[in-house]
Structure 1
Amino acid sequence: MQHGSRSAIAGLAGLSALVALPAAWLTGCSSDMMAGMGSEVETAPPHAQSSVQPPGPGNAGAKSNALVVTPNQQDYLDALGAAGVTPSSELSALSIGSYVCQARAAGQPDQAVWDFVAPLVRNDLRGAEESDGARAESPSADDTDAATADYIRIATERLCQ
């Protein structure tokens, strides 16, 4: 019986390592690059009674949960728009850019960066179509390739500094 317990513990240790590695990798962002990505969002417990009112026209003193971006991040978002890339959201575009920067910082070769980012871009393109009310079809390979190239180039030039 002890042999079975040891392999179960070894299996859990391996699983823990697999879960911890991506988390450790994702925390490699510079504080400058990630500034504003959710730092202004505050949440309350679901049934909390509070005197704080949600942001809106009648409550000018309440904090907004709108995304706050740095000038560097805004430059990146503006460059994506100028290149014709329409992300499903600013947060999604910043996340993809962050992945590019993390891969670059880790010294990943261009093909590895592409292989990791392309599925994220494809999903984002699909999400952008859904938010426009269009039927969620898979974007064409040409559209995905063009957007992936733009994301990688623009993130490398404007966000990964």
Structure 2
Amino acid sequence: MGSLLLASAALLTACSGADMMATIGLPTTQAAPAHGESSAAAPGPPPAGPKSNALVVTDRQRNYLDGLAAAGVRPSSDLLALSIGSYVCQARAAQHTDQEVWDSVYPLVRSDVDDRMSPATVDVDAETSDYIRIATDRLC
């Protein structure tokens, strides 16, 4: 087992080199240049500065989140709402039936509703329908 790990590590190092490792964890705007290209900026980590934990969303994602809010859907977080929307889009892209989409999204919505303070006031069926409709129309 140990020799397999060493062989895997050697292969990974030989195939990927420092270029691949330099981009891990960096935003795409700060990725290292492709092999053989030079970088105008000095090598090393990005400059230190205030870090934000704010969720950065695209215009399409913002439109989806706004659609949920307009429909009265109040997810526990934008990140969860985007995750549920992503499930809808993946199922649509895989050409799943409406029932298959429902079957994959309903448990996610129900779980979020159960985690909220007042789940008795939320119609899980209606909220699942809203997620699927809005994600299909605005996100996918």
TM value normalised by structure 1: 0.55
- Cα distance between partner residues in 1 of 2:132 and 2:73: 12
Which of 143, 152, 159 is the matching residue for 2:123?
143
Could you tell me which runs of 5 or more consecutive residues in structure 2 were left unpaired when the two chains were aligned: 1-26, 29-46
Give the structure 1 partner of residue 19 of structure 2.
none
Give the structure 2 partner of residue 88 of structure 1.
76
1:159 to 2:103 alignment: no
1:115 to 2:95 alignment: no
- Cα distance between partner residues in 1 of 2:74 and 2:126: 12
Q: CA deviation at 1:126?
A: 2.1
- Structure 1 vs Structure 2: percent identity of aligned residues? 64
Paired residues, number: 96
- Cα distance between partner residues in 1 of 2:108 and 2:80: 9
Supply the RMSD in Å over aligned alpha carbons.
2.2
Q: CA deviation at 1:62?
A: 1.2
Which of 52, 67, 71 is the matching residue for 1:64?
52
TM value normalised by structure 2: 0.62
* Contact map agreement 1:72 1:158 (CA 8 A) in 2: yes
